[in-house]
Structure 1
Amino acid sequence: MKACGIITEYNPLHNGHIHHIKEARRISGCDVLIAVMSGNFVQRGEPAICDKWTRAKEAIAQGCDLIIELPLPYAIQSAQQFAYGAVETLKLAQVEDLVFGSETNDLGVLQKIAALDSDGFRDLMKEGLSPVKAYEMIFGRFYANDILGIHYLKALQGSTITPHTIKRIGNYHDNTLTAAQKQIVSATALRTALANKEDISAFSPMQITPHPSLEAYYPLIRYLLLSMPASSLNTYALMDEGIEAWLCKQAKEHAKWDTFLSACICKRYTASRIKRTLLHLLLQMQRGSYPIDHLRVLAFNAKGKAWLKQLKGKTAIAVKFAQLPVAYRRLYEKSAYLYAYPEVVANDSVKKEWQSAQFLTNE
């Protein structure tokens, strides 16, 4: 059997993702398609539009065979760390190919950039530029999928996994649905439509009530920022280079989320960087390393089950919550309670966290 990997969030899963699934199968000729997927919190620094179990179930229905959770410490990190965590997870899953979306769809160019020394990139960030601006200064304008792709290729260096790109379809910056658009639109547009209670059935198979955004957590965020000493705040991951003082200053001046976030955004800190930092605060995630030494399975079908059986004895596999390493169990317990914080979801997501992986069919 041959396995191909894809890296996903499905926030929510839409027609563009279904195209990606089909193309990954076609390009790789795989027997098993394995998706590494973010859990209840995603890379843009927000709670996922719906819980990871629901999204994993839909992914199996749309053609994936095995859904593995991207470890939370890497899911809510910068593109570099997100890519590293995802690729390391796919290495553990022993895939032979990785297929990812790209705006340029020029693998050769992306590989050349990935091979370049990154000292200049780090120096620009030290001067206060955001990662996206630093990339523009060095390499010219690149969009989100290409930047992620460059980091995937960096993480793949020295591995036997073969990368492939597919052309990303649709406009990444669309934030509304219009009649003139085709059936592939951005996840941003779908999240906006769901928040406005619009019908998204032409664009996505998922019909869901969206989880509240990070705005719902602002009273708690503000309390923590204004009540905790700086010596405690700066022990958390991403609380560095003085961002804790900056966040506290803005929290003191702004009682509403929108004005707080707008005030926090600057040349050094993007909205996503700020929100990821706040998630680390809410999760009380200390600095330190989280080894990628296991696969947490969220859902699988018969082909996925056969692949897991093939991996048994070679890779630590957690199909049940109790099989997770202790440090990860503690972290996922906290994340489950945090995801359930808004009253609208009550304790449902907490109960789900302790369930075993879902065995599903594609029918």
Structure 2
Amino acid sequence: MKQSNLKICGIITEYNPFHQGHAHHLRQARELTGCDVLVCILSDYFSQRGLPSVMSWQDKTRLALEHGADLVIRLPSVYAAQSADHFARYALESLSVLGVQEIVFGSECHDRSRLEAMADEAGLRPVNPATSQARNLPDLEPNDILGVQYILQCRRLGIDWSTIPRSPDFISATASRRAFFAGDAVDWQIYMQPEQRWESYYPCLRLSLLMTDPDRLASFFLVSEGIEHRLIQAAREHRDWQGFLEAAVSRTYSRARIQRTCLMILLQVTWSQMRDHDSFYHVLPAGFNAAGQALLRNLDEEARARTAMKFAQLPPFLKLVETKSAQLYDSVMKAPCSRETIIRKGS
């Protein structure tokens, strides 16, 4: 969906939490592409690995706008908390609605020919829909694994791509979270929420696992191949999150897969619902500056129909997802979360 003669660049982000490497990514994306509008799609309440976002999506949006984004849009939790192939597909479907012509992502190898070759190979490998496991790419680092999936979706949607090298000079999001929870000083920690960790959610999760019939658990998205029985047993044996997680993880089920599955159980999102909504050609604006607002105003009729500027404009399934995700995220907080729906920079 080409919206104008503007050069529109997209980046796919989590910001869990935002750090200096992300600010660098924003600067480099604009410099590398010379874009007129830089669009950032952001996982909102929960991340691709099924982790709670230590920063609210409102604060992440504000920081993105302050550091170079023109438009920030949201990827809802049920679409964000997915294996790499699905995460990439949903994010790029959303960006395609805005007419994004190119994306820029961080890469450990920063080798276009190697990434293209790995994408060729990955495109030939089947994915098991029951386990929702990403294609196995054992020789690649995390950003490159995602990058291969971005490339496959870019090919499908007619979008170009570029990379910037992943620099060891910047702390990773994982290291930043670890430092914050250990009590060490990190950048932008004023925006970080100490309650937003799985330990806060585990009492509710444990009770849900112990009190819900296994057949009912099996109806929830990502609960497959009898994993519900493994989760119930782990909940019986462990009253703490780390003990539960270590008992649940296996060769078949990674830490991230367990976290995603537990999130879907808490959200009570079913297999049937996700099968009926297995695409994300929607735009959920989270914030913008004048350039981002102008892009939204000039969308064609089809793209405008897929853009929801307020809750009332969401289709029923996305209303349900937004309500459940916000309520779950808010449930562990000592004070209510922000209810801002659009962040406007410079207004």
Asked if Structure 1 and Structure 2 have the same fold, meaning a TM-score greater than 0.5 normalized by the shorter chain, the answer is: yes
Identity among equivalent positions (%) equals 37
- Tell whether the 8 Å contact from 1:60 to 1:361 is kept in structure 2 after alignment: no
1:187 to 173, 178, 198: 173
CA-based RMSD of the aligned residues comes to 2.2
1:102 aligns with 2:107: yes
2:120 to 115, 119, 123: 115
For residues 256-305 of structure 1, the C-alpha deviation after alignment (integer angstroms, 9 at most, x for no partner) is 21111111111111111100000000000111232423210000000000
Q: What does residue 359 of structure 1 align with? A: 344
Q: CA deviation at 1:216?
A: 1.0
Distance 1:152 1:96 in 2: 13
Q: CA deviation at 1:67?
A: 0.3
Q: What does residue 314 of structure 2 align with? A: 324
Q: 1:40 to 1:122 in 2, by over 3 A?
A: closer
2:296 to 274, 297, 308: 308
Q: CA deviation at 1:144?
A: 0.6
SS of equivalent residue, structure 2 residue 90: helix
Distance 1:319 1:303 in 2: 16
Q: What does residue 145 of structure 2 align with? A: 147
1:340 to 323, 330, 334: 330
1:263 aligns with 2:253: no
Q: What does residue 176 of structure 1 align with? A: none
Read off the aligned partner of 1:262 and give its amino acid letter.
E
For residues 17-54 of structure 1, the C-alpha deviation after alignment (integer angstroms, 9 at most, x for no partner) is 11111111111110100000000111111110121011
Q: What does residue 199 of structure 1 align with? A: 185
- Tell whether the 8 Å contact from 1:10 to 1:17 is kept in structure 2 after alignment: yes
- Tell whether the 8 Å contact from 1:67 to 1:297 is kept in structure 2 after alignment: yes
Distance 2:294 2:189 in 1: 27
1:216 aligns with 2:206: no
TM-score by length of 1: 0.87
1:17 aligns with 2:22: yes
Q: CA deviation at 1:188?
A: 1.2
Q: What does residue 6 of structure 1 align with? A: 11
Q: What does residue 178 of structure 1 align with? A: none
Distance 1:90 1:120 in 2: 25
Is there any run of 5+ residues in structure 2 with no aligned partner, and where? 1-5
- Tell whether the 8 Å contact from 1:110 to 1:146 is kept in structure 2 after alignment: yes
Q: What does residue 135 of structure 1 align with? A: 137
Q: What does residue 168 of structure 1 align with? A: 166
SS of equivalent residue, structure 2 residue 228: helix
SS of equivalent residue, structure 2 residue 286: strand
Q: CA deviation at 1:250?
A: 1.1
Read off the aligned partner of 1:334 and give its amino acid letter.
K
Distance 2:201 2:319 in 1: 23
Q: CA deviation at 1:130?
A: 6.9
Q: CA deviation at 1:58?
A: 0.8
Distance 2:165 2:17 in 1: 20
For residues 88-136 of structure 1, the C-alpha deviation after alignment (integer angstroms, 9 at most, x for no partner) is 111111111110011000122111221236565648x99x99758x322
TM-score by length of 2: 0.91
Please say which of residues 275-284 and 304-313 is displaced more in the overlay. 304-313
Read off the aligned partner of 2:117 and give its amino acid letter.
K
Distance 1:215 1:162 in 2: 40
1:55 aligns with 2:44: no
Distance 1:95 1:12 in 2: 25
1:35 aligns with 2:40: yes
Distance 1:118 1:27 in 2: 27
SS of equivalent residue, structure 2 residue 156: coil
Read off the aligned partner of 1:280 and give its amino acid letter.
M
For residues 157-205 of structure 1, the C-alpha deviation after alignment (integer angstroms, 9 at most, x for no partner) is 23321110111112xxxxxxxxxxx4x111111112221332223xx58
1:82 to 74, 84, 87: 87
- Tell whether the 8 Å contact from 1:50 to 1:211 is kept in structure 2 after alignment: no
Q: 1:69 to 1:249 in 2, by over 3 A?
A: same
SS of equivalent residue, structure 2 residue 328: helix
Distance 1:85 1:75 in 2: 8
Distance 2:147 2:9 in 1: 16
Q: CA deviation at 1:329?
A: 0.7
SS of equivalent residue, structure 1 residue 335: helix
Q: What does residue 3 of structure 2 align with? A: none
For residues 203-234 of structure 1, the C-alpha deviation after alignment (integer angstroms, 9 at most, x for no partner) is x5865343420111111111111111111011
SS of equivalent residue, structure 1 residue 251: helix
